[in-house]
Chains A and B, each alone.
Chain A
Amino acid sequence: MLALIWQLVFRRRMSYWATKPTEGILKLKLFYLIAIAALLAVGSYFLADMGSKPQAELDVSRMRTTANDTFVVSVEPENREIKLGELHSWLLTVKTPDGAPVEDASFVIGGGMPDHNHGLPTSPQVTDNLGDGRYRIEGVKFSMTGWWELSVDITSASGSDSVTFNMVL
């Protein structure tokens, strides 16, 4: 596309130069202006495109080790699709680093949007111990697109530790 623009400008420039020098210079300026505008436009288009994904470098993995390596925790939404603004639940699996399920854990769920200086719009809670180290978190809601954190504080006979998951909607 850029090449095409330059080719057009160049071709027109030559033809004007050959016929009417003074008018040609004016037109030349006009075409340069257009060409510069085109370059700026193309540049800003690509810049804008790059700027729309600022969270690309975030670690959004759904399985993480807690801060002090006490537990390995994974999360998944109970239903595959997460709809903005709708209450939904997540399934949480807690294991020790050697893979044994942690079945006696209690939890405090938190989180929010670091970029917007606010917490979660709801107070999710673990409402079910499903056995085998699996638990259900109810009452999760994401009310806007962007970078969300979901933090899980875990207490069990193995100790207390916490982990934060990143979600990008």
Chain B
Amino acid sequence: MSCNRLSSIACLLMMLGALTGCGQEFSDDQKAVIASLSLAALPALPPDPSNRFADDPAAAALGATLFFDQRMSRDGDVSCATCHLVDRQFQDDLPRARAVGVNNRRTMPLAGTGRSPWLFWDGRRDSVWAQALTPLEDPVEHAGTRAGYAHAVAEHFGDRYQRIFGALPDLSAVPARAGPRGTAEEAAAWQAMNLGQRQEIDRVFANLGKALGAFVRSIEPTETRFDRFAAVLAANERPEGDAALTPDEIAGLKLFIGKANCATCHNGPRLTDDGFHNTGIPVVPGLPDDLGRQTGVQQAAADPFNCLGAFSDADPQECGELRFRVKDGPQLLRAYKTPSLRGAATRPPYMHAGQLGTLEEVVDHYARAPAAPSGESELHPLTLSERERQQLIAFLRTL
């Protein structure tokens, strides 16, 4: 074949490429969506008005210390980092978290959680500091009591605590173990304390949460290959090195924002709408009934450490997510929070109790759109070829 002929074919292919792929692969609408998913679209970390120590470096440093300290548990063998592993995106690769006991849910990664209006899979807490307090007293997680934590702070971190939060209360008459979520004895000891004592302990406990919250909110999503690709695309330049996505990854991206409708819920630079959806995820046999958001929203409203509570630093006007929460309705039943997909490809298993083991199973679930165990799934069945499934997964690995 002559050079002339070759160049003619090349020219034709380039023209085709200009229309459908290669050079100008994306329409302006698609480019806008891609830009909206990129880390470049992430706004500055919003303030947390409910925690006046949220951006205090000393509080964040104390929070980091507490995060890794196993003394912050009943038996001295569990820290936040037991399940939120620092080198594993702050999660544990297990279907259900294991600490003092086995949890009913999967550990969530922590990057970007300071930006979530609702924490946990069912959104049962409304700030990262209120979230941090919950595992500390959960019988299958740290299994400690708030009175016990106040003693531990006084013993090990008294100076650091008081430099940030002011004087610790007198703990001489406070039982070593007492808390409303503890064992029968611990709960009885809590009830036996007078109201003033309980409030003082609650204040110390809330401050522990605020220090932990200040640390956790500093954990932010990091740039990935997709972000480098999106930056080059936005600048109308040719992607090079690892910023250049393969044809399969590009096809997967187009499916993600197009036919497969992933970006409907997995939107914005964190790839989540921060909402709750019933996607028909199967029940784990043997676990108690899990109603998802239906229970979670009631727990968030009842939490004494929420944005409207006595330990919040926010003006009620600043608690919009809590004030205007959806309180009931069929759409809450077995609805779970849309997780961020950043880094998701390297942290199986998936879903709120690790029900799906691989990305292949996840894509297959969304394509089949099975009926929900209870409530109604929002999914619609989708026809995806084997090739398209692999392309979608190839794209997910760039996130």
Residues of chain A having any CB pair with chain B under 8 Å: 1, 4-5, 8, 12, 34, 37-38, 41-42, 44-45, 48-49, 52, 84-85, 87, 116-125, 138-139, 141, 143-146
Chain B contacts of A124 at CB under 8 A?
324
By the criterion CB–CB under 8 Å, are B320 and A87 in contact? yes
A1-B264 in contact given A119-B331, A122-B324, A143-B273 (Cβ < 8 Å): no
Q: Would you call B8 an interface residue if the criterion is a C-beta within 8 Å of the partner chain's C-beta atoms?
A: yes
The digit string for B310-345, where 1 denotes a CB below 8 A from any CB of A, is 000000000011011111010100000000000000
Identify which of A8, A120, A141 contacts B12 (C-beta below 8 A): A8
Could you list some 7 contacts between A and B, CB below 8 A? A4-B15, A5-B15, A45-B20, A84-B267, A122-B326, A139-B320, A144-B267
Q: Which residues of B contact A (CB under 8 A)?
A: 5, 8-9, 11-13, 15-16, 19-20, 27, 29, 36, 264-265, 267-268, 273-277, 320-321, 323-327, 329, 331, 376, 378
Contact A41 B326 (CB under 8 A): no
B378 contacts A117, C-beta separation under 8 Å: yes
* Distance of A163 Cα from B376 Cα, bound (Å): 27
Complex Cα gap A29–B118 (Å):
60
B219 to chain A, nearest CB (A): 20
B4, chain A: closest CB distance, angstroms: 10
Q: How far is the CA of A42 from the CA of B11 in the complex (A)?
A: 16
A85-B274, A87-B321, A123-B325 in contact; A144/B15 too (CB < 8 A)?
no
Chain B residues lying within 8 Å of A38, measured Cβ to Cβ, are: 12, 15-16, 19
How far apart are the CA atoms of A139 and B320 in the complex, in Å? 6
Q: Which residues of A contact B329 (CB under 8 A)?
A: 119
Cβ distance A9 to chain B, nearest Cβ, rounded Å: 8
* A123 adjacent to B326 (CB under 8 Å): yes
Q: Are B267 and A37 in contact (CB under 8 A)?
A: no
Q: Which residue of B8, B265, B268, B378 is within 8 Å of A8 (Cβ)?
A: B8
Q: Which residues of A contact B29 (CB under 8 A)?
A: 52
Q: Which 6 A-B pairs have the closest CB atoms?
A: A139-B324, A143-B273, A41-B20, A87-B320, A122-B324, A143-B275
Q: Contacts A41-B16, A87-B324, A145-B264 known; list 7 others, CB within 8 Å.
A: A1-B15, A12-B5, A52-B27, A119-B329, A124-B324, A143-B274, A144-B267
Q: Please state if B264 and A117 are interface contacts (CB–CB under 8 Å).
A: no
By beta carbon, the residue of chain B nearest A137 is: B324
Give the shortest distance, in Å, between B266 (CB) and chain A (any CB). 9
Picked from A44, A118, A120, the residue with its CB within 8 Å of the CB of B277 is A118
Q: Closest Cβ of chain B: how far from A106's Cβ, in Å?
A: 17
Residue of B12, B13, B324, B331 with most chain A CB atoms under a 10 A cut-off? B324
Q: Which residues of A contact B36 (CB under 8 A)?
A: 84
Chain B CB within 10 A, most for which of A38, A42, A121, A146: A121
Closest-by-CB residue of B relative to A51 is B258
A85 to B16, CA, bound (A): 38
- Docked Cα-Cα span, A116 to B277, in Å, equals 11
Contacts of B331 in A (CB 8 A): 118-119
CB contacts (< 8 Å) of A146 on chain B: these are 264
Query: Please, which residues of chain B bring their CB within 8 A of the CB of A5?
Result: 12, 15
Q: Given that A119-B329, A121-B275 are contacting pairs, would A42 and B324 also be in contact in the complex, using a CB cutoff of 8 Å?
A: no
| A-side contacts of B5, CB under 8 Å | 12
Complex-state Cα separation, A1 to B320, whole angstroms = 53
A143 to B9, alpha carbons, bound, how many Å?
46
Question: In the assembled complex, which residues on chain B have CB atoms less than 8 Å from the CB atom of A119?
Answer: 326, 329, 331
- In angstroms, Cα B8 to Cα A5, docked, is 11
Collect the chain B residues with CB atoms within 8 Å of residue A143's CB: 267, 273-275
Q: What residues on A are CB-neighbors of B277 within 8 Å?
A: 118
Which residues of the other chain, A, contact B325 by a CB distance below 8 angstroms?
Answer: 122-123
B19 neighbours in A (Cβ, 8 Å): 1, 38, 41-42, 45
Compute how far the CA of A146 lies from the CA of B20 in the bound complex, rounded to whole angstroms: 25
- The answer for the CA separation of A59 and B294 in the assembled complex, in Å, is 34
**Nearest chain A residue, comparing its CB with the CB of B267:** A144
Partner of B273, one of A8, A52, A144: A144
Whether A144 contacts B265 by the Cβ 8 Å rule is yes
Distance (whole angstroms) from the CB of B322 to the closest CB of chain A? 10
Given contacts A37-B16, A117-B376, A144-B264, contact A48 B324 (CB under 8 A): no
The answer for the CA separation of A45 and B27 in the assembled complex, in Å, is: 9
B21 to chain A, nearest CB (A): 8
Chain A residues contacting B324 (CB-CB under 8 Å) are: 87, 122-125, 138-139, 141
Nearest residue, chain B, Cβ from A87? B320
**Alpha-carbon distance between A59 and B276 when the two chains are bound, in angstroms:** 29
B94 to chain A, nearest CB (A): 29
Cα–Cα, bound, A144→B36 (Å): 12
What's the nearest-Cβ distance from chain A to residue B115, in Å?
Answer: 10
Contact, CB under 8 Å: B378 / A116: yes
Q: Cα distance A122–B331 when bound, in Å?
A: 12
A29 to chain B, nearest CB (A): 13
How distant is the Cα of A146 from the Cα of B15 in the complex, in angstroms? 33
